[in-house]
Amino acid sequence: MPDLPLSQLLSPAILSRLKQYPLLAKTAVEGFLAGTHRSICRGAGCEFAQYRPYISGDDLRFLDWRLLARQNRSQVKVFQEETQMRCAILVDASASMAYRGQHAPCSKFRYASMIAACFAYLALRQGDKTGLFTYADGLLTGNNSASIPSLDKMLAILDNITPPGQADHFLAASKALEYLPKRGLLVLVSDFYDLEPNLERLLRLFQHSHHDCLLCQVLDEEELSLPMTETTVFTDSEADRQITASPQLVREQYQQRMRQFLATIRKTCLDCRTDYQLATTSQNLGPLLAAWLDRRRS
């Protein structure tokens, strides 16, 4: 890919053209780190703890060249400061996440998958043990292994998912908590449409387990503004219901309800001391990557 400004490099319109999630994640994360002069290689002055497999983009200063020469194995030294976290990334793959507005570069699920890919890349690059869980009305995919899987293997599952049915957030959360036996970082990426009345209960569950939590709410621009001008058939993709309405007649009421919905999500996260990020599918990934790094460093 030719050199691009950071704003374009992190644009979903550009990233969604990359078919392979590992390449997408590397392109976005390395571009972000270079463009903002941020670093996640923090181990130079810390006590050595272990090795992990080399990931493209790692600082070559920490590559064990002797091991590479003797056994042809690419291993990176991980230092004590980088070994204290296990991460669970949950991606909502329910039917509502398949929505893609007329002018959107990608669906909500595709955007959520890009976020998950970037977060997994960052976590693995730091030496964190990382589990990726996708779910709808049941758990679609999940990694309960204590080992650190390859990025390719972890992200390959995202290519084969067509969002079905409703979302069982609590089932997915229970599986993620099994993966986090002690304090860790839990990331939940969803539109949260059916979770509003139960969000506080879910976050208290995470709090009780002493996990840090980052919520990423993904919406389409059309869902925020309802820009249609002609009579439209609206479909509830998870309840399989349809209504026909004139957007001009319901827009003001709809936008007010949407503002209330977002305010409730924000307040619940604030009350539960949970980091919250709202992103639309046309927004570049920079703020989300910054939120991850800030949460991981705290």
Kind and range of the H or E run holding 119? helix 108-125
pLDDT of residue 234: 72
- Asked whether 116 and 158 are in contact (CB, 8 A), the reply is yes
pLDDT of residue 93: 92
- For 53: left if phi > 0, alpha if psi spans -120 to 50, otherwise beta; the answer is beta
* C-alpha closest to that of 97 among 87, 82, 85, 107: 107
* C-alpha closest to that of 223 among 86, 139, 108: 108
Kindly give, in sequence order, each residue whose CB lies less than 8 Å from that of residue 181, ignoring residues fewer than 6 positions away: none
- Asked whether 123 and 130 are in contact (CB, 8 A), the reply is yes
> To which residue do tokens 């059916």 refer?
194
pLDDT of residue 79: 57
pLDDT of residue 242: 74
- Asked whether 80 and 46 are in contact (CB, 8 A), the reply is yes
- Asked whether 232 and 223 are in contact (CB, 8 A), the reply is no
Cα–Cα distance for residue pair 104/99, rounded to 1 Å? 10
Please provide the DSSP assignment of 123-163 as one string.
HHHTT-EEEEEEESSSEEE----SS---HHHHHHGGGG---
Global confidence as pTM: 0.76
pLDDT of residue 298: 56
- Asked whether 290 and 297 are in contact (CB, 8 A), the reply is no
Distances (CA, A) of 246 to 71, 218, 225, 261: 68, 25, 14, 22
Low-confidence ranges of the chain (pLDDT < 50): 1-7, 9, 37, 39-45, 80-83, 145-147
Burial class (CB in 10 A: 0-12, 13-18, 19+), 159: exposed
pLDDT of residue 2: 40
Cα–Cα distance for residue pair 118/187, rounded to 1 Å? 12
pLDDT of residue 90: 94
Q: How far apart are the first and last CA of the chain?
A: 34
Query: What domains are defined for the chain?
Result: 12-19+22-34+84-297 (3.40.50.410), 39-81 (no CATH)
Helix, strand, coil percent values for the chain (each to nearest 5): 45, 20, 35
Helix intervals (H) in 16-73: 21-36, 65-71
pLDDT of residue 3: 43
- For 261: left if phi > 0, alpha if psi spans -120 to 50, otherwise beta; the answer is alpha
